[in-house]
Amino acid sequence: MPEGPTIVILREQVERFAGCRIIRAEGNARVDMARLTGRRVEAFRSWGKHFLIDLHGFALRVHFLMFGSYTIDERKPREPRLSLAFPTGELNLYSCAIRVIEGDLDAAYDWRGDVMSDAWDARAACRKLRAMPDRLVCDALLDQEVFAGVGNIIKNEVLYRIRVHPLSRVGALPPAKLRELVKQARQYSFEFLEWKKQFVLRQHWLAHNKGTCDGCGRKLVRAYLGETDRRTFFCAHDQRLYATPAQARAAARTVASARKGGRRLPTRAEPPLERSTERATRRLPRRGQATRTPAAHKTKARRQRFRAS
C-alpha cells in the first residue's frame, strides 16, 4: 500500500497539470465522467494516503488500497480506473478506490493530522494517543486519524528506531517516549520521501524485511500483529516492552510462537484450544485393539442403514 511519502511524490509529479482543463475523462470508476470533462483542476493535494484532485465545488479522492498504481503520459495494457487527459499529457490511475467529495476540502479534512503537512500538530497527536491507553503501539501508528500517511514500513522502522516493542501499550509509554514516537513518525516520513526519490529507500531499512538486528545481531521476529494484522519486524531483545505484567506474559507467548512457526498470530486473545483439547483427551487404543478409521465408521453406518431397509 502506498504510504504518505509516495502520495506526495505523485502530487509533485502531476503539479504541471494544475490549472489545466480536463479534455477527456474515462475509465471504469463509478464517477460521472461527463461532469469531469471540461473542469479546471484547481490544485492537487494530499492527506495521508489520500490523493486529492481539487475541482471547482467538488474533489476526487483517490485511495490506492494495497496494489494501486499510476502512470503519467503512458498506459498499462489494461483499462484504468480513471484516465484524465490534459492538453499537455494524461494521468492514469489503476486498482484504486475513487470517490467524489462534495464541497470544500478544507471542511472535509483536518490537515493537522497529516504527518507530512505543514499544518501537522504534534501536540494534537499526543493528546489522541493519550486517549487510547490500551491500544497497541503497532496499531496506534497505523491509525490514520492520528498519523495520516504512516504505513507499515514507517511503523516498523519507527518502532525499531526508538527501541519500542510493537506489543507495548500506548498508556504504558513514558511521556518522553510518547513524544519521541510522534516526532519520529514525522521525521522518518520525510526521510522516506527523500530516499524514495533517490531510489535508495530499501538500502536504509533497519527492520522492515530484514533478518537480523543491527544492534545485537539476534534474529528479528517476524509476525502479523495487532488488530490491523500487519506484518511486523522487531527485535525482542533490543525493543523494550511497555506493558503490565499480564500483558507482558501474553506478549512473550506471542513472540515465542512467532519464533517457532512464523504464522499469523493473535495478540488480543489466546488461540482456540478445541482442537488441541480434543487431541489431548482422545483415548489411545489398547494393545491388540483394532482402530477404526473414519472410512471404517462410514462403511459401518452404510451397512446398518442397508439392514434397516
Alpha-carbon separation of residue 237 from 130, 218, 246 (angstroms): 26, 8, 19
Q: What is the CATH number of the domain that holds 225?
A: 1.10.8.50
Q: What is the CATH number of the domain that holds 31?
A: 3.20.190.10
Same domain, 96 and 117: no
Tally of CB atoms within 10 A around 43: 14
Number of domains in the chain: 2
Q: Which string of DSSP letters, residue by residue, matches 4-56?
A: HHHHHHHHHHTGGGTTPBP-EEESSSSS-HHHHTT-BEEEEEEETTEEEEEET
Same domain, 165 and 140: yes
Same domain, 222 and 138: yes
Instruction: Show the domain range for 76.
Output: 4-109
Same domain, 84 and 175: no
Tally of CB atoms within 10 A around 121: 16
User: Over the stretch 174-194, which tens digit does the pLDDT of each residue have?
Assistant: 999 999 999 999 999 999 999
Mutual angle of helices 175-197 and 4-13, in 10-degree steps: 40
| 280: in domain | no
Same domain, 251 and 125: yes
Same domain, 117 and 256: yes
Same domain, 171 and 185: yes
Q: Could you tell me the sign of the dihedral formed by the alpha carbons of 24, 29, 34, 38, in that order?
A: negative
Mind listing the pLDDT tens digit of every residue in the chain (309 residues)?
789 999 999 999 999 999 999 999 999 999 999 999 999 999 999 999 999 999 989 999 999 998 999 999 999 999 999 999 999 999 999 999 999 999 999 999 999 999 999 999 999 999 999 999 999 999 999 999 999 999 999 999 999 999 999 999 999 999 999 999 999 999 999 999 999 999 999 999 999 999 999 999 999 999 999 999 999 999 999 999 999 999 999 888 888 877 665 544 444 433 333 333 333 333 444 444 444 444 444 445 545 544 444
Gap between the Cα atoms of 147 and 129, Å rounded: 10
Q: Answer with the one of 224, 245, 261 that is the final residue of a domain.
A: 261
Q: Which pairs count as long-range contacts for 252-255, CB under 8 Å and 24+ apart, including other chains?
A: 254/167, 254/223, 254/225, 255/167, 255/221, 255/223
